[in-house]
């Protein structure tokens, strides 16, 4: 599963990875899924975050978790679908995955980007965008749901190195030229 986007943890000799629904439109996810199933890698637990958004647009299957479940099951994976916002369901799904033998397991979690942050943000196309006028309300909401602020790990700001990024004008996109009738390597 080295192809998957993020390595999360190694718990009980199980490797847990997170896959975004947008990534499932790419072949490398399915190559990895085939490999893990063929070799019966039951020490792999994947989370598929079905939040409906890819990098630049809505994913083709949107929130259809059944579609994703059927595909991974067809690839030979143990599958379960959950509400990705329900911590109890996440914990139960991890326990379920521990019990599975003989095949990799995937926890397909239906989620909503910006859940509960604002009606203007939740389930809207805010992927990789600043919250702007909704920032303060979003931070206030997140602070309000933290039960023990001391339990949150501190975040350190990156050190200032004094190195400045190059000016944007320094990077030019040079279009490829493909002469008509000339054979090219793909």
How high is the pLDDT of residue 164?
56
Domain count, the chain: 1
Percentage of the chain surpassing pLDDT 70?
76
Per DSSP bridges, beta strands 6-11 and 14-20 are antiparallel
> Is 122 part of a structural domain of the chain?
no
Cα-only R_g, the chain: 21
> Is 83 part of a structural domain of the chain?
yes
Beta bridge partners of 126: none
| The pLDDT of residue 119 is above 80 | no
Torsion angle in degrees (nearest 10) through CA of 109, 114, 117, 118:
-120
> Is 57 part of a structural domain of the chain?
yes
Encode pLDDT of 133-150 as tens digits. 888 888 888 888 887 777
Percentage of the chain surpassing pLDDT 90?
40
| The pLDDT of residue 14 is above 60 | yes
In whole angstroms, give the CA distance from residue 156 to residue 19. 27
CB-neighbour burial class of residue 32 (10 A; exposed 0-12, middle 13-18, buried 19+): buried
- Tokens for 157? 């700001």
> Is 133 part of a structural domain of the chain?
no
How high is the pLDDT of residue 107?
97
Q: What does the pLDDT average to over 7-24?
A: 75
The residue range of the domain holding 64 is: 6-111
| The pLDDT of residue 16 is above 50 | yes
- Domain CATH for 105: 3.40.50.970
Encode pLDDT of 55-103 as tens digits. 778 888 989 999 999 999 999 999 999 999 998 999 999 999 999 999 9
Considering only residues 5 and 62, tell me which one the structure prediction assigns the higher pLDDT: 62
> Is 162 part of a structural domain of the chain?
no
Torsion angle in degrees (nearest 10) through CA of 75, 81, 87, 89:
-110
pTM for the structure as a whole: 0.71
């Amino acid at each position: 599963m080295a192809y998957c986007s993020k390595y999360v943890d190694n718990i009980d000799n199980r490797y847990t990875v997170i896959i975004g629904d947008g990534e499932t439109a790419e072949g490398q996810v399915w190559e990895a899924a085939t490999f893990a199933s063929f070799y019966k890698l039951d020490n792999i637990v994947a989370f598929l975050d079905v939040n409906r958004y890819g990098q630049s647009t809505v994913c083709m299957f949107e929130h259809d978790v059944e579609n994703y479940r059927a595909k991974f099951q067809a690839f030979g994976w143990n599958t379960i679908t959950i509400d990705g916002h329900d911590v109890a369901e996440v914990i139960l799904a991890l326990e379920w995955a521990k019990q599975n033998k003989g095949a990799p397991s995937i926890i397909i979690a239906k989620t909503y980007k910006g859940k509960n942050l604002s009606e203007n943000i939740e389930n809207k196309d805010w992927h990789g965008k600043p919250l702007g006028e909704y920032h303060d309300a979003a931070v206030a909401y997140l602070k309000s749901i933290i039960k023990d602020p001391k339990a949150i790990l501190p975040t350190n700001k990156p050190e200032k190195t004094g190195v400045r990024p190059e000016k944007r004008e320094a990077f030019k996109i040079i279009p490829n030229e493909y002469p008509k009738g000339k054979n090219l390597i793909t």
